[in-house]
Amino acid sequence: MPTIQIKSSAGPYSFYCSRGAIAQAPRLIKRLGDATGVFVLSSPRVWRHWGGVLARTLPGARQPILFDDEESSKRLAAVEAIARNLILAGADRHAVLVAIGGGVVGDVAGFAASSYLRGVRLVHIPTTLVAQVDSAIGGKTGVNLPEGKNLVGSFYPPKLILADPDVLDTLPHRDFRSGLYEVVKYGVIADAELFRFLERRMNAVLRRDSAALGWIIPRCAAIKARVVTADEREGGLRQILNFGHTIGHALEAVTGYKRFLHGEAIGWGMIAATLMAVATDKLSDAEAIRIIRLVASIGPLPSLAKIQASELRPILAGDKKARAGRVRWVLPRRIGKTEWGIDVPWQIVSSAFAELPVIAADAGL
Ligand SMILES: NC(=O)c1ccc[n+]([C@@H]2O[C@H](COP(=O)([O-])OP(=O)(O)OC[C@H]3O[C@@H](n4cnc5c(N)ncnc54)[C@H](O)[C@@H]3O)[C@@H](O)[C@H]2O)c1
Ligand SMILES: [Zn+2]
């Protein structure tokens, strides 16, 4: 099975990716060492699709602890409910928690694992494209506050990640496409060959061709693994993962997290950052056109109607990555190479944003 190693301050862990990986879960969890119990955390929706298969395979999966995985349920109350269920189920310090779901399940279950009895072992079985290529790797866990996203959390790496591309078959198409924007992001920031693969094979990818996905997922996971191994706490290099996220997060916030899925907002954010890179002479027109075309090839993005650049400005200044109100941008130099920590004059930011609808119309978005 293709395996990727990730190093963290809490020790190394492995990412396995292959079709049928879930069948290997009992054996791989056993290798983590003695456990007094294996406790499965998931959501009703994921369980409806995969509970039957998992209950036959995984210890602990016959009595899963299920919690809602709407973004609006990603709250401290969910962590408390999980902890109370774990107590009732008799989970002690030598338990293993297995989080099975998308990024919401992983973030909430991860935070629960980091704080329950001051920390119990965590295994991720990611079931969305975003979770397989991004959120399950790197140890960021957390929940939202009414004041903003992911404001309470911890760095808490799992002991093991098991990704099975076949699990993505049941994912709603919009969620699947949303994850593809993050895949494009990896190509732009760090992997020109991945980018070319996506240019050639986007149709197969959109059909969820398992050979194409079986190539892409470990490729992206390896990039994330390399970046978080080098910079676990986001002191430097890890910031490149935020390409497209500065404008993207602002678009999500200004529309109350309702209009865009996360990846869709990142799609717009990557186009805006690409325009800014051209305007600051960092990126050639030819490469910018390729980036915009690849983003557009995933399909239409929700419209930007009624959103003004001026509304985004205060949100950008309050971004977690901003320092003293100055936004630090991540901009591509060429496909496969990015810079971070860049200051861009507001005039250029707002012009790039104003240009988006025109660029979108040209690209057929
Ligand atoms: N920790 C990190 O580093 C990190 C990174 C990126 C995103 N995130 C977080 O991840 C969350 C988004 O995660 P996501 O994009 O995976 O979406 P999600 O967890 O919201 O899941 C999307 C939808 O798909 C359903 N679903 C999940 N797997 C399914 C399957 N196999 N078949 C059918 N339906 C399925 C879910 O029930 C949900 O309705 C956000 O809260 C974001 O903040 C965290
Ligand atoms: Zn993202």
Is residue 189 pLDDT above 80, yes or no? Answer: yes
Q: Tell me what pLDDT residue 201 has.
A: 98
pLDDT band at 291; cut points 50, 70, 90:
very high
For 312-328, what is the mean pLDDT?
79
| Ordered DSSP codes for 48-69 | HHHHHHHHHHSTTTTS-EE---
Asked if 220 and 194 touch (Cβ cutoff 8 Å), the reply is: yes
Q: Between these two residues, 177 and 2, which has the higher pLDDT value?
A: 177
* Cα–Cα distance, 275 to 272 (Å, whole number): 5
CA atoms within 13 A on the CB side of 135: 26
Q: Tell me what pLDDT residue 222 has.
A: 97
CA distances from 288 to 52, 155, 246, 277, 279 (A): 46, 34, 18, 8, 11
Is residue 89 pLDDT above 80, yes or no? Answer: yes
What are the tens digits of pLDDT across the range 48-86? 999 999 989 888 888 999 999 999 999 999 999 999 999
Give the rounded distance of the alpha carbon of 45 from its chain centre: 19
For 3-31, what is the mean pLDDT?
94
pLDDT band at 228; cut points 50, 70, 90:
very high
Burial class (CB in 10 A: 0-12, 13-18, 19+), 211: exposed
CA neighbor of 122 nearest in space, from 3, 193, 41, 47:
41
Question: Can you tell me which residue has the tokens 């009624």?
Answer: 306
Q: Tell me what pLDDT residue 317 has.
A: 83
- What is the phi/psi pair of residue 305, to 5°? -50, 140
Ligand nearest to the CA of 107: 1
Average pLDDT, the chain: 95
Q: Tell me what pLDDT residue 59 has.
A: 80
* Residues known to be catalytic: 118, 140, 182, 224, 234, 238, 242, 245, 249, 262
* Cα–Cα distance, 71 to 252 (Å, whole number): 12
pLDDT band at 26; cut points 50, 70, 90:
very high
Question: Can you tell me which residue has the tokens 């240019």?
Answer: 199
CA of 150 to the centre of ligand 2 (A): 12
Asked if 153 and 142 touch (Cβ cutoff 8 Å), the reply is: yes
Ligand 1 atom closest to Cα of residue 168: 31
List pocket residues of ligand 1, CB cut-off 6 Å.
Answer: 43, 45-46, 49, 69, 71, 74, 101-105, 107, 127-128, 130-131, 134-135, 138, 140, 149-150, 167, 170-171, 175, 262
* Cα–Cα distance, 89 to 116 (Å, whole number): 13
Any residues with CB less than 8 A from the CB of 185 and at least 6 apart, and which? 241, 243, 244, 266, 270
What are the tens digits of pLDDT across the range 106-151? 999 999 999 999 999 999 999 999 999 999 999 999 999 988 889 9
**pTM (two decimals):** 0.95
* Residue 164 in tokens: 């099975």
CA neighbor of 53 nearest in space, from 143, 141, 167:
167
Protein residue closest via CA to atom 34 of ligand 1:
171
Ligand nearest to the CA of 232: 1
Q: Tell me what pLDDT residue 323 has.
A: 67
Dihedral of alpha carbons 340, 267, 224, 98, sign? positive
Task: Choose the weakest-confidence range: 104-118, 311-325, 343-357.
Answer: 311-325
Q: Tell me what pLDDT residue 320 has.
A: 64
Is residue 226 pLDDT above 70, yes or no? Answer: yes
Q: Tell me what pLDDT residue 321 has.
A: 65
* Cα–Cα distance, 169 to 266 (Å, whole number): 23
Is residue 2 pLDDT above 90, yes or no? Answer: no
For 257-282, what is the mean pLDDT?
97
